[in-house]
Amino acid sequence: MCRRMSSARWSIGDAVMAVFGSPVARGDDAERAVRAALAIPRIIEQLNASSPHPDLEIHMAVNTGEAVVTIDPGSPDGDLLVAGDVVNTASRLQGAAPPGRVLIGEETFRATRRVIRSEPVPAVAAKGKREPIPAWVAIEALVPLAVRPAQMPFVGRDGESGLVRDIWSRAVAERRPHLVTILGEAGIGKTRLAEEFSFDVKETGGQAFHVRELPYEQSSGYETFVQLVHEVAGIFESDPNPVAMAKLEASLDHLGLADPALVQLLSVFARTPEAVADDRRSLFEAARRYVEALASTTGTLIVFEDVHWAHPSTLDLITSLAGRARDAPIVFLALARPELLDLRPAWG
């Protein structure tokens, strides 16, 4: 839930509630909440497999709507108090959810239907409600986290697009990596420019990957590389570890990287339990071989979204790859708000 930017979590008896979109709404709060919920069964499965087999069962629901949120200014991590019908309804849905499944309410369904596949289930009759509550069961994400569905036509960015296209042509012609950074205030159109450009890249036979930093990331610091390796290998967050590991091995084999030491190192980026990340130099080296292999047969674009939130180790890794990858037609396109320069004045 932390990784998907929930701002608060607390427990009431054996129930846990998490709030997304407060104190700061990000427009995709419902989606992140459902993705977080879909990732939980795998964790429960791991817990149950561990000794002494706790035999846990989980019932989940996500509901969206208006609530009265009180932030406790005295608490160090800004404790939230949330009240409103949306909370009661979430609790009713949760009570009706089958084991291991995620029920979602109507507004959550509408907000996520283009990115998450859900199936309707019979409305939930609930105490204190005149009408049964319409409900869906969330099944799976339809697109990776960073991909947004199509929107309005793209206008008036010929200069910027032309610049990126020139750099791309050079990277492909010279088989040399390039790091391009687009800096700009929130909402200025960085993501959109990158999406349009990815589309062009794919149209012309190249491949494009989108990965995205998360503001409240509290993990190892390589979130975007985890996303990249997952996307390339077709690993889902809901995959049990042995499945994730098998997919990683198959993907590395396909890339011609079936060296056990390398598999071991790259499993850091697939977040499998064998992961070890104590040797940063070897890890960066493994990442370099990985992107070189990825780009060996075709021009490759990797878009790093929201780099101003990146962990310093990710910034180091991106710079290292851009400086060291050899014989690789690859463009790293970093998108960031200007505060990146507070973090790294010499970036780019």
Ligand X SMILES: Nc1ncnc2c1ncn2[C@@H]1O[C@H](COP(=O)(O)OP(=O)(O)OP(=O)(O)O)[C@@H](O)[C@H]1O
Choose the binding region for ligand X from 170-178, 188-196, 231-239, 248-256 (rule: CB under 6 A): 188-196
Q: How far apart are the first and last CA of the chain?
A: 32
**Contact call for residue 189 and ligand X (CB under 6 A):** yes
Of 63, 94, 118, 191, which lies in the binding site for ligand X, with binding defined by CB under 6 A? 191
Beta carbon nearer to Mg ion, 191 or 224: 191
Q: Which tokens hold the place of 178? A: 């390039």
Task: Judge whether 227 and 146 are in contact, CB under 8 Å.
Answer: yes
Beta carbon nearer to ligand X, 154 or 284: 154
Task: Judge whether 148 and 306 are in contact, CB under 8 Å.
Answer: no
* Nearby residues of 82 by Cβ (< 8 Å), 6 or more positions away: 8, 17, 19, 22, 67, 68, 69, 70
Measured CA to CA, the distance from residue 330 to residue 179 in angstroms comes to 9
Choose the binding region for Mg ion from 3-11, 187-195, 197-205, 251-259 (rule: CB under 5 A): 187-195
**Contact call for residue 187 and ligand X (CB under 6 A):** yes
If you search the block for the tokens 């890890």, which residue do you land on?
283
Task: Judge whether 247 and 266 are in contact, CB under 8 Å.
Answer: no
Which phi and psi (to 5°) does residue 339 adopt? -65, -10
**Contact call for residue 198 and Mg ion (CB under 5 A):** no
**Contact call for residue 190 and ligand X (CB under 6 A):** yes
**Contact call for residue 191 and Mg ion (CB under 5 A):** yes
Q: Cα-Cα-Cα-Cα dihedral of 314, 319, 324, 328, to 10°?
A: 90
> Which partner from the list Mg ion, ligand X, none does 159 bind, CB cut-off 5 to 8 Å by kind?
none
Residue 168 DSSP code = H
Task: Judge whether 182 and 338 are in contact, CB under 8 Å.
Answer: no
Choose the binding region for Mg ion from 14-22, 97-105, 186-194, 211-219 (rule: CB under 5 A): 186-194
> Which partner from the list ligand X, Mg ion, none does 186 bind, CB cut-off 5 to 8 Å by kind?
ligand X
**Contact call for residue 224 and Mg ion (CB under 5 A):** no
Q: What x/- string results for residues 50 through 89 when contact with ligand X is judged by CB under 6 A?
A: ----------------------------------------
Please count the residues of this chain forming the interface with Mg ion, following the rule CB under 5 A.
Answer: 2
User: What is the binding site for ligand X (CB under 6 A)?
Assistant: 151-152, 154-157, 184, 186-192, 306, 337
User: What is the binding site for Mg ion (CB under 5 A)?
Assistant: 190-191
